[in-house]
Amino acid sequence: MRTSRPIRSSGFIEYVLWLFTRFSGLLLLLFAAISMGVAFSLGGRTLLDLPTMTRWVFFPNPNHVVNSDIPDVSVGWSNAFWQIFSVLMIFLAAGHGINGVRMVLEDYISRPLLVAMLRVLLFMLWLACMIFAVYVILYS
């Protein structure tokens, strides 16, 4: 109780990404559970095998799960709710993954300039992922 909030030191971003990693991880699990549950309730109980299930869990988009026999697959899923859901999921997953790669790279590459360049590259990769994902989800 004796301290005020620490002034932003150079690790503020590090802290934000640390938090992001934990919470995106938990949220992704929650999302996976939701899409699995909904896939079941749409009648997938007897029709889903493990690979199809994995597809649902990762990316519940009718585009992605083409050959599962869930009835009404495109009707049930291509509304605004699931589109936002999918975009959010990709946002979290890509962020989580790319930040993880950054962590590993920073640990094993010791040339500061190279690390800085790779960071920019990763950030652009993340942007590209997002644009691509939004395009696929909204326009196809």
Chain residues binding other proteins by CB under 8 A are: 1-7, 9-12, 14-15, 17-19, 22, 25-26, 29, 49-51, 54, 58, 93, 97-98, 100-101, 104, 106-108, 110, 112, 115, 132
Measuring CA to CA, which residue among 16, 12, 36 is closest to residue 24?
A: 16
Residue type, 22: R
Q: Nearest approach, Cβ of 83 to other proteins (angstroms)?
A: 18
Is 43 or 97 the residue whose CB approaches other proteins more closely? Answer: 97
- Asked whether 72 and 7 are in contact (CB, 8 A), the reply is no
Is 12 or 72 the residue whose CB approaches other proteins more closely? Answer: 12
CA distance 128 to 117: 17
What count of other Cβ atoms lies within 10 Å of the Cβ of residue 137?
21
Is 69 or 106 the residue whose CB approaches other proteins more closely? Answer: 106
Q: Nearest approach, Cβ of 16 to other proteins (angstroms)?
A: 10
Is 2 or 81 the residue whose CB approaches other proteins more closely? Answer: 2
Q: Nearest approach, Cβ of 96 to other proteins (angstroms)?
A: 9
CA distance 13 to 18: 8
Q: Nearest approach, Cβ of 46 to other proteins (angstroms)?
A: 13
62 burial (CB, 10 Å; 0-12 / 13-18 / 19+) is middle
